[in-house]
A and B are shown apart, each in its own frame.
Chain A
Amino acid sequence: MATQSKVSFTLNGNPAEIRTDPIRRLSHVLREELSMTGTKVGCDAGDCGACTVLLDGRQVCSCMTPVAQVEGREVLTVEGLAAAGGRLAGLQESFHLNGAAQCGICTPGMLMAAADLLGRRETPDDAAIEDALGGVLCRCTGYKNIVSAVRHAIEPNGIELDDPGPGEAVGARVPKTDGKRKVDGSELFGADSAPADALWMRAVRSPHWSATFTVGDLQPLFDAHPGLVRVIGPADVPALNAFGVYPHIKDQPVLADGEVKYRGEPVLALVGDYESVHGIRDEDVPIHYQIRPHVHGIEGALAEGAPIVHAAGDDNVMGRGFVKKGDADAALAESDVVVEGSFETAFVEHAYIEPEAGWARRIGDRLEMAATTQAPHMDRDEIANVLGLPVDAVHVLPCACGGGFGGKIDGGLQVLLAVAAWNLDRPVRTVFNRIESMASTTKRHPSRTSGAYGCTKDGKLTAYRFHGDFNTGAYVSFGLTVKDRVPVHATGPYHVPNVLATSAGLYTNEPPAGAFRGFGVPQSALLHDMLMDMMAERCGIDPLEFRHINAIRVGDATATGQVLEASAGLAACLEGLRPHWKKARAEAEAFNARSSGVLRRGVGVGCMWYGCGNTSMPNPSTLHMGLSRAGEVTLYSGAQDIGQGINTTAMQCAADGLGIALSRINLVWGDTDLTADAGKTSASRQAYISGNAAKFAGEDLRRQILRLANVGDDAEIEFGEGRLVVRDGEAVREVDLTALPLTRDSDVLVGEGTFDPPTEPSDEFGQGTPYATYAFAAHMAEVEVDVALGTVKVRRMVAAHDVGKSLNPQQVEGQIDGGVAQGLGLALMEEYVPGRTENLHDYLIPTVGDMPEIDYVIVEDPEPTGPWGAKGIGEPTLIPTPPAIFGAIHHATGVRLTRAPATPDRVRAAILARNGGKGG
């Protein structure tokens, strides 16, 4: 119990007074005591800036401001920005119009940082804008649109909302239909709401990599902390104490039962009032660990005599992947040119700015859950499994997701909350702090890949032999997907007659590696595109032209024997890059010839392909579109928007499917009682699969209306209040909606759309049709390397993407910017070291100051099965950036780095090694 003091201050122009603990973080007081949740908390350590507010007109982190220090001062939060008037109010509109908010979790912090600048500088330049925003991290946007939004709040660029009419929504540059609430502080993320009587939950986590344990007498803990209501253990799980992303593999305990397999694994859950559960230190909880030897890293997992992570197995191999076409060994033996190489990548942290958070409550025999997630229907099924309930007894109302990137699919928080709330029959909430989020949740698989690529002397690829080991951590998570996806994609987007690609997923006592933007493909792309550069060099062919020669085209067969029938736009992407490439390569070479200094410039290219949707598995989405008696049209979408914008895209597709203006549609999203299963937001599947389902739902509703009006397919529908007017040539029919019977809730007609991309299971050689369609991309990176320090600055990226059809150019560009930023991070700075980099100052992600200029080349080679030809864009944007940067470093310095990230010490060491230890 702490002292209480009165603090009086001005909050958004109004007097505020509160009695509270004076050392409390201002952010906490604003959110939990004054219910002003527009200010976000990302790290509690001044590393992310999400909590930025203005204190006497200056930006500060409210997470590092003792509330007592605001006594007598003025605090301005995002909720007060509109009322502040003038340019400050204009900032919000500018953020909305310029696509500066994707998930929206950093947006309040960005807005306040920008408000600080605009409040004190009349006409700041871009450098001043970057300085002002430098303390706020964004993981979605790549910062480009944020800087533009601030610039255009100073000098309006006259950008206007596209307001497309019927049939015009697809392809329009439409701002987010849910964008306003992301800029005014009203969007509700996982930590932003909970029933008023909710208890707090905090997981006690293992401090050891591998151990058995017993729990001692908990009574003294209850005696010392009267506010502690319950300690939840594995025995409290009603049905199955296990979860996992696959229906057939549930290997990760909700709460560890007698043994822990990684540091950060939840052991017990403390439930009670906020002060108690957060006031108890883990070391005060009587858990007695007996430490066992542990396994770290791929080498550790494969070492002779290594401890076995999962006792059921006789080694640490989780699973193996395999694709074989032709005879790679024989073809390599006959190839004019064979190059070999290997590559190593690290754990990468998703680093969404919103840590996991949510709440749950039991309502009779049902369980209600609101949490940040990428997969509401999967959460529902998982909770039902754990509680032993039918799925319709679980009601998931997902919160807005403050960034996911694959890390918010595994529902460890959800199942734990569900167990607590079910047992206590009281609402229970939890918010992970940054350290526990980073220690306990999934990561990108670390990898060690090697391969031998062959080609003819005139540069035609002949064969590829590849093996990749992937560290899947303590539990399977999405490990099976990675080990299957990698061999399919291992060749890169090239036509290769002979392929032998194998992979292994390996258990270690490290955090589970799961889904992360690319599922292993970014790791294998670093290798295949390095080998492309090496072959090009050996053949004396320009690296871009070498790729163009070999780009997989319509009519070519993939490594799995799948003949591409349409939409294979890599060659077009490379053609789009070609003029940029020639110019940039020449400029870099001229710069290097001129400069005798330590700065060297280089230009590299990286290519990728990416199968959209689940691998060799059914992957359906179903959406509904309803028409109410009042004439209101509503899209019911279970496709979770994680900032990428499926809410907007699905509405665009549905609007044009039905033939109604976009602005006339309402959206109900996520709620599992009101929406059908639209699958996970992962695998670049939502725009392609749920976009299609939205289109079909709109078309189905249109058909039903036309049938009701008894008119032909070309009729035009006019949507009025309580009635429709349908015109078919001369015939005009009026439909009185108020007279129709209700078919579902308040709707009189409900259209349904389902799409499941056609795939086929693979045979014993991995041959088959694992994906219905592939996205293609090529990125060009221009870098400048300080060879004396080993630092790399990416100056410019040109991103060429075959998206089939750009459903919304603003969102496509936004995905590219964000993917480039994450790719740049993977390439140059991001390395999660378990136990050591569990915060956002030791684990570095790019800031606004690291971002290059980005140009786009959008190729639309339509995919016949996609909505208006569209396919996915989410993951393809990250994958080609790292190989382009590594290629550019080589062009600049002559050094071929084979380990990501290319941190300054590694770059410098490689330069020194090449120069025989001499500097320069």
Chain B
Amino acid sequence: MASYLRPGDLESALAAIAEAPRTIVAGGTDYYPARVGKPLDDDVLDVTGIDSLKAIEDLGDRWRIGALVTWTRIVEARLPPMFDGLKRAAREVGGVQVQNSGTVVGNVCNASPAADGVPNLLALDAEIELASRDAIRSVPIGAFITGNRQTVRARDEIVTGISVPKPAQGTTSTFLKLGARHYLVISIVMTAGVLEPAPDGTVASIRLAVGSCSAVARRLVALENELRGRPIDAGLQDAVAEDHLAVLSPIDDVRGTGEYRMDAALTLVRRTLAELGSA
């Protein structure tokens, strides 16, 4: 017999999930689409009653995005430019309906190769916070998602939030999503970039990530290394070479061929750098 729990605090939720595994539901925007025409018969833990997971907090050296923060909250929150890319992604997730219900953390936990939030969170060097009845831990997002729809979350754990370290003053970010239509579209390729400037106008550090071109979105570390120390201008994009995308392994599907994805990723990475360079 399927059961449904909607506890009002984290402790109760962790106690319940420690007892038996449950499908965790927040915005429902991945749960229901996976069950069209199928019975809703899993044991569910609905976490939306846990108020402590709803905040976006400035913790001094980092930002913390609670597990129940929706895309709309990201769009409407007053956040520094380092989050511009994430805001742009938030506006392009599904329609406004999905943005109002769906959570950033849910997007990460669903771990789709085309998850709109993941490239930005990779570029932001985010960490995923997990809690179980007995422990809490923090895992870099790159290690949290291990494959298509796979994460390191244990069955008795709940993701409670995302922690984003504060970078240097003046850090900028951007995000590009390529799809075959406007609105309500799953990306063919996505790119995200976060650039930390040095006082002399060169790149102190830059993080670039590409989504939908591998089972898990990937950082372009070789390119990032090459860009460090370069002047921040439109010329940044000239550094991009095809080899920098060697970490990607795009597949053919209904949205596009793997070959096209690779080619489009190259274009989008260049455009990402053009934007960051001219910001």
Which residue numbers of A lie inside 8 Å of B, CB to CB? 1-3, 5, 21-25, 43-47, 49, 52, 55, 58-61, 63-66, 68-69, 113, 116, 131-132, 134-137, 278-279, 281, 433-436, 788-791, 828-829, 831, 833, 836-837, 839, 841-842, 844, 846-850, 903-905, 908-909, 912, 919
CA separation between A435 and B36, bound complex, in Å?
7
**Residues of B contacting A: mostly:** loop
Would you give the 0/1 interface string for B255-279, flagging 1 where the beta carbon is closer than 8 Å to chain A? 1110111011001100000000000
Which single residue of chain B is at the shortest CB-CB distance from A62?
A: B97
Question: Does the CB pair B4–A21 fall under 8 Å?
Answer: yes
Nearest CB of chain A from residue B86's CB, rounded to whole Å: 17
The stretch of B37-45, B135-143, B206-214, B224-232 that contacts the partner chain: B37-45
Q: With A47-B184, A833-B254, A839-B36 known to touch, is A904 a contact of B2 (CB < 8 Å)?
A: no
Q: Is B67 among interface residues, defined by CB-CB distance under 8 A?
A: no
Q: With A58-B72, A849-B183 known to touch, is A65 a contact of B267 (CB < 8 Å)?
A: no
Which single residue of chain A is at the shortest CB-CB distance from B95?
A: A135
Q: Which of A3, A791, A850 contacts B2 (CB 8 A)?
A: A3
Would you give the 0/1 interface string for B151-181, flagging 1 where the beta carbon is closer than 8 Å to chain A? 0000000000000000000000000001011
Which single residue of chain A is at the shortest CB-CB distance from B268?
A: A789
Which single residue of chain B is at the shortest CB-CB distance from A836?
A: B254
CA separation between A132 and B44, bound complex, in Å?
31
Q: With A434-B36, A847-B181 known to touch, is A831 a contact of B254 (CB < 8 Å)?
A: yes
CA separation between A107 and B32, bound complex, in Å?
23
Question: Does the CB pair B3–A3 fall under 8 Å?
Answer: yes
Residues of B within 8 A of A842 (CB): 186, 254-255
14 A-B pairs (CB sep. < 8 Å): A2-B1, A44-B32, A46-B98, A59-B97, A113-B96, A134-B184, A135-B96, A434-B36, A435-B37, A789-B178, A848-B183, A849-B183, A904-B264, A912-B263
Nearest CB of chain A from residue B34's CB, rounded to whole Å: 8
The stretch of B21-29, B57-65, B124-132 that contacts the partner chain: B21-29
Question: Does the CB pair B44–A23 fall under 8 Å?
Answer: yes
Q: Is B33 among interface residues, defined by CB-CB distance under 8 A?
A: yes
Question: Does the CB pair A134–B254 fall under 8 Å?
Answer: no
Name the 9 nearest CB pairs between A and B, nearest first. A135-B95, A849-B182, A134-B183, A905-B260, A45-B33, A433-B37, A905-B256, A847-B183, A64-B28
Which single residue of chain A is at the shortest CB-CB distance from B38?
A: A281
Q: With A135-B95, A791-B178, A847-B181 known to touch, is A64 a contact of B33 (CB < 8 Å)?
A: yes
Q: With A3-B3, A66-B25, A908-B260 known to touch, is A279 a contact of B39 (CB < 8 Å)?
A: yes
Which single residue of chain A is at the shortest CB-CB distance from B72?
A: A58
CA separation between A24 and B40, bound complex, in Å?
8
Question: Does the CB pair B97–A46 fall under 8 Å?
Answer: yes
Q: Which of B41, B186, B263 contacts A908 (CB 8 A)?
A: B263
Q: With A5-B4, A833-B254 known to touch, is A904 a contact of B39 (CB < 8 Å)?
A: no
Residues of A within 8 A of B110 (CB): none
CA separation between A848 and B33, bound complex, in Å?
22
Question: Does the CB pair A46–B1 fall under 8 Å?
Answer: no
CA separation between A436 and B185, bound complex, in Å?
22
Give the number of chain B interface residues (Cβ < 8 Å): 50
CA separation between A78 and B31, bound complex, in Å?
25
> Which of B6, B25, B97, B98: most chain A Cβ within 10 A?
B97
Would you give the 0/1 interface string for B62-104, flagging 1 where the beta carbon is closer than 8 Å to chain A? 0000000000100000000000000000010011111011000
Residues of A within 8 A of B178 (CB): 789, 791, 904
Q: Is B190 among interface residues, defined by CB-CB distance under 8 A?
A: no
Q: Which of B31, B32, B40, B181 contacts A850 (CB 8 A)?
A: B181
Nearest CB of chain B from residue A396's CB, rounded to whole Å: 27
Q: Is B48 among interface residues, defined by CB-CB distance under 8 A?
A: yes
Q: Is B46 among interface residues, defined by CB-CB distance under 8 A?
A: yes
Q: Is B123 among interface residues, defined by CB-CB distance under 8 A?
A: no
Knowing that A829-B181, A844-B180 are A-B contacts, what are 5 other residue pairs whose CB atoms are under 8 Å apart, sorted by A's residue number? A23-B25, A46-B29, A135-B97, A839-B36, A904-B264
Q: Which of B31, B33, B44, B182 contacts A847 (CB 8 A)?
A: B182
Nearest CB of chain A from residue B72's CB, rounded to whole Å: 7
Which single residue of chain B is at the shortest CB-CB distance from A432?
A: B37
Which single residue of chain B is at the shortest CB-CB distance from A436?
A: B37
Question: Does the CB pair A908–B180 fall under 8 Å?
Answer: no
CA separation between A162 and B209, bound complex, in Å?
57
Residues of B within 8 A of A25 (CB): 32
Q: With A58-B100, A64-B29, A135-B94 known to touch, is A279 a contact of B181 (CB < 8 Å)?
A: no
CA separation between A829 and B182, bound complex, in Å?
11
Q: With A281-B38, A903-B256 known to touch, is A63 a contact of B32 (CB < 8 Å)?
A: yes
Nearest CB of chain A from residue B75's CB, rounded to whole Å: 10
Within 8 A of A (CB), among B1-17: 1-4, 6
Nearest CB of chain A from residue B127's CB, rounded to whole Å: 28
Q: Is B248 among interface residues, defined by CB-CB distance under 8 A?
A: no
Which single residue of chain A is at the shortest CB-CB distance from B4?
A: A22
Q: With A116-B96, A134-B96, A844-B180 known to touch, is A65 a contact of B28 (CB < 8 Å)?
A: yes
Residues of B within 8 A of A69 (CB): 6, 28, 46, 48
Q: Is B188 among interface residues, defined by CB-CB distance under 8 A?
A: yes
Residues of B within 8 A of A831 (CB): 254
CA separation between A131 and B72, bound complex, in Å?
13
Q: With A135-B98, A841-B184 known to touch, is A2 a contact of B2 (CB < 8 Å)?
A: yes
Residues of B within 8 A of A61 (CB): 29, 97-98, 101
Nearest CB of chain A from residue B109's CB, rounded to whole Å: 16
Question: Does the CB pair B267–A788 fall under 8 Å?
Answer: yes
Question: Does the CB pair A789–B96 fall under 8 Å?
Answer: no
CA separation between A370 and B279, bound complex, in Å?
61
Which single residue of chain B is at the shortest CB-CB distance from A433?
A: B37
Residues of A within 8 A of B184 (CB): 47, 134-135, 137, 841, 847
Question: Does the CB pair B41–A46 fall under 8 Å?
Answer: no
CA separation between A44 and B72, bound complex, in Å?
21
CA separation between A846 and B269, bound complex, in Å?
27
Which single residue of chain B is at the shortest CB-CB distance from A22?
A: B4
Residues of A within 8 A of B183 (CB): 134-135, 847-849
Which single residue of chain B is at the shortest CB-CB distance from A840?
A: B184
Q: Which of A2, A64, A279 contacts B32 (CB 8 A)?
A: A64
Which single residue of chain A is at the shortest CB-CB distance from B178?
A: A789
Nearest CB of chain B from residue A884's CB, rounded to whole Å: 19
Residues of A within 8 A of B188 (CB): 904-905
CA separation between A68 and B95, bound complex, in Å?
23
Residues of A within 8 A of B180 (CB): 791, 828-829, 844, 903-904
Residues of B within 8 A of A113 (CB): 95-97
Residues of B within 8 A of A2 (CB): 1-2, 4, 40-41
Residues of A within 8 A of B181 (CB): 829, 844, 846-847, 849-850
Q: Which of B36, B255, B261 contacts A43 (CB 8 A)?
A: B36
Residues of A within 8 A of B40 (CB): 2, 21, 23-24
Nearest CB of chain B from residue A758's CB, rounded to whole Å: 44
Residues of A within 8 A of B264 (CB): 789-790, 904, 908
Question: Does the CB pair B97–A68 fall under 8 Å?
Answer: no
CA separation between A836 and B182, bound complex, in Å?
21
CA separation between A833 and B182, bound complex, in Å?
21
